[in-house]
């Protein structure tokens, strides 16, 4: 009896028997990985040139594992604030199912493995970008910026913007203007996406001591900045067609999606969140995910009008 009591009360201290293989999969943030894989495939498909299907699959696998492994290291570092927020309180380290040390080892080994295999199997430019993305997410975002500045999401968002660029580099072996535009799409999409969530989770971020924009600058300023990013994103999303990385169907889709995204931001700007329970912000958060999926889906299906013009 006393054994059980001792184990149950030692929250955050994992016992060897506590973890299942599913807990280790959870450390890789599979839901975030979905978006990473999707945008990486889009970058790979939009790039001019060809890559053997097996090598393309290995490249995507390496990007997915690299991103997931960085997520595991993030969970290791953020375990104290994860315990405070309801959204993250069920994570494997917080609940004690996986020890912090195991999570760190798991993340570091997978990161190194993913980068090495990407280099050996595909090319070293893609491997270097993968290593840069992981290092950026862990050191710049998680360790340096997240707890220090409300610009955490803006600069840290760059880490999540790498996958299409890595996919592109896997095919071409270089970094071109079109791949930088794909990077920029996710970079400018990230702040309004996260701040829409932060608007209705302000209390949780405040409790955890994370200086999210709504906590530091207030709701009104955050909403104005969200609209600014949405407006910048509108013309930016049209560039893949201009640069020859996507066709006119994509262009038309980007116009419609971009207009709806700006409309969402306007509705959030005009919303009195306390009165509406942040209905518009919640809708914008949901739509932002659809927006990015749809945009990259269009890049995948709508091939360029002038093949080889990209770059």
Partner 1 sequence: MDRDRTRSEEARRRLRGRNLAVLFALIAFVVIIYVVAIVRMGGA
Stretch that binds partner 1, among 50-58, 69-77, 216-224, 226-234 (CB under 8 A): 50-58
The minimum distance between CB 21 and partner 1, in angstroms, equals: 4
Nearer to partner 1, 100 or 234 (CB): 100
Closest CA to 247 of 307, 305, 186: 305
Closest CA to 81 of 21, 124, 142, 29: 142
Residue 233 in tokens: 């994103």
Q: Does 118 bind partner 1 (CB under 8 A)?
A: no
Alpha-carbon 210 to chain mean position: 18
Q: Does 28 bind partner 1 (CB under 8 A)?
A: no
Nearer to partner 1, 117 or 181 (CB): 117
The minimum distance between CB 52 and partner 1, in angstroms, equals: 4
Residue 100 in tokens: 């912090």
Nearer to partner 1, 7 or 276 (CB): 7
Answer for which of 4, 270, 272, 275 binds partner 1 (CB under 8 A) is 4
Alpha-carbon 104 to chain mean position: 20
Quick count: other Cβ atoms within 10 Å of Cβ 21? 7
Find out whether 192 and 228 touch, Cβ atoms under 8 Å.
no
Interacting positions 58-117 with partner 1 (CB under 8 A)? 58, 61, 117
Q: Does 52 bind partner 1 (CB under 8 A)?
A: yes
Q: Does 20 bind partner 1 (CB under 8 A)?
A: yes
Find out whether 180 and 239 touch, Cβ atoms under 8 Å.
no
Quick count: other Cβ atoms within 10 Å of Cβ 90? 11
The minimum distance between CB 16 and partner 1, in angstroms, equals: 8
Q: Does 8 bind partner 1 (CB under 8 A)?
A: no
The minimum distance between CB 54 and partner 1, in angstroms, equals: 5
Answer for which of 8, 21, 272, 275 binds partner 1 (CB under 8 A) is 21
Size of the site for partner 1 (CB under 8 A): 18
Report d(CA 263, CA 266) in Å as an integer. Answer: 5
Report d(CA 290, CA 287) in Å as an integer. Answer: 5
Binding site for partner 1 (CB under 8 A): 1, 3-4, 16-21, 24, 52, 54-55, 58, 61, 117, 120-121
């Amino acid at each position: 009896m006393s054994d059980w009591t001792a184990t149950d009360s030692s929250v955050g201290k994992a016992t060897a028997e506590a973890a299942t293989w599913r807990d280790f999969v959870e450390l890789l943030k599979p839901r975030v990985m979905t978006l990473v894989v999707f945008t990486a495939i889009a970058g790979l498909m939009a790039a001019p040139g060809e890559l053997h299907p097996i090598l393309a699959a290995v490249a995507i696998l390496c990007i997915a594992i690299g991103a997931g492994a960085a997520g595991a290291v993030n969970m290791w570092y953020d375990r104290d604030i994860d315990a405070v927020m309801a959204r993250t309180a069920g994570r494997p380290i917080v609940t004690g199912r996986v020890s912090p040390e195991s999570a760190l080892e798991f993340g570091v080994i997978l990161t190194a493995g993913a980068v090495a295999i990407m280099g050996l199997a595909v090319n070293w430019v893609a491997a270097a970008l993968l290593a840069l993305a992981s290092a950026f997410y862990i050191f710049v975002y998680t360790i340096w910026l997240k707890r220090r500045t409300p610009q955490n999401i803006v600069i840290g968002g760059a880490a999540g913007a790498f996958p299409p660029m890595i996919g592109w580099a896997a095919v071409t072996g270089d970094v071109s203007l079109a791949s930088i535009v794909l990077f920029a799409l996710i970079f400018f999409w990230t702040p309004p996406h996260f701040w829409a969530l932060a608007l209705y989770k302000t209390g949780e971020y405040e409790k955890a001591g994370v200086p999210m924009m709504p906590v530091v600058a207030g709701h009104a300023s955050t909403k104005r900045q969200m609209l600014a990013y949405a407006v910048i994103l509108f013309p930016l999303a049209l560039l893949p067609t201009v640069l020859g990385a996507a066709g006119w169907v994509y262009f038309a889709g980007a116009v419609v999606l971009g207009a709806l995204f700006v409309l969402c931001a306007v509705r959030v700007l005009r919303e009195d969140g306390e009165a509406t329970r942040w209905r518009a912000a919640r809708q914008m958060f949901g739509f932002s995910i659809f927006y990015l999926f749809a945009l990259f889906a269009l890049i995948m299906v709508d091939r360029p009008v002038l093949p080889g013009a990209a770059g």
